[in-house]
Amino acid sequence: MPSHIHLIIRSKDNKPEIVLGKFKEQTSKLLTKQIAENAEENIKEWLQWMMKWAASKSSNVTNSQFWQHHNKPIELWTPEVTVQRVYYIHNNPVVSGFVIEPSDWKYSSAIDYAGGKGLLEIDYV
């Protein structure tokens, strides 16, 4: 999704907040660098302004904020809930009107579940 991300993550030490924190830290550094180096000028200026504005609303960020601080974790305590969440994630771009089929969304694992090959390696749930 252009404005947010859905992940199903697992942590070996039962601390998924650490995994998510490291993910946010690394991706924000890489994406901020990519924006600065490769984005068209008007898009770059707008994104950088948005990240500075987000940082100004935060008590612990000074220059730029890529990710929001809050998360909306949902514990996947049964196989049925896990399947429900995968279905929700895969259909989110369809419901939002970006694609017709879940497997058409480039950044989704739905293509893998449909027999194709997506951008990332996944563990099926």
Q: How far apart, in whole angstroms, are the C-alpha atoms of residue 54 and residue 44?
A: 15
| Closest C-alpha to 21, from 11, 32, 36 | 11
Single-letter amino acid code for the residue at 30: L
What are the backbone dihedrals phi and psi of residue 35, each rounded to the nearest 5 degrees, phi first? -60, -45
- pLDDT in 10s for each residue of the chain, 125 residues: 677 888 898 887 878 888 888 999 999 999 999 999 999 999 999 999 999 998 888 777 778 889 888 888 888 889 999 999 999 999 999 999 999 999 999 999 999 999 999 998 888 87
Q: How far apart, in whole angstroms, are the C-alpha atoms of residue 73 and residue 17?
A: 9
Dihedral of the CA atoms 59, 55, 20, 16 (nearest 10)?
A: 20
Q: Are 55 and 61 spatial neighbours (Cβ–Cβ below 8 Å)?
A: yes
The whole model's pTM is what? 0.76
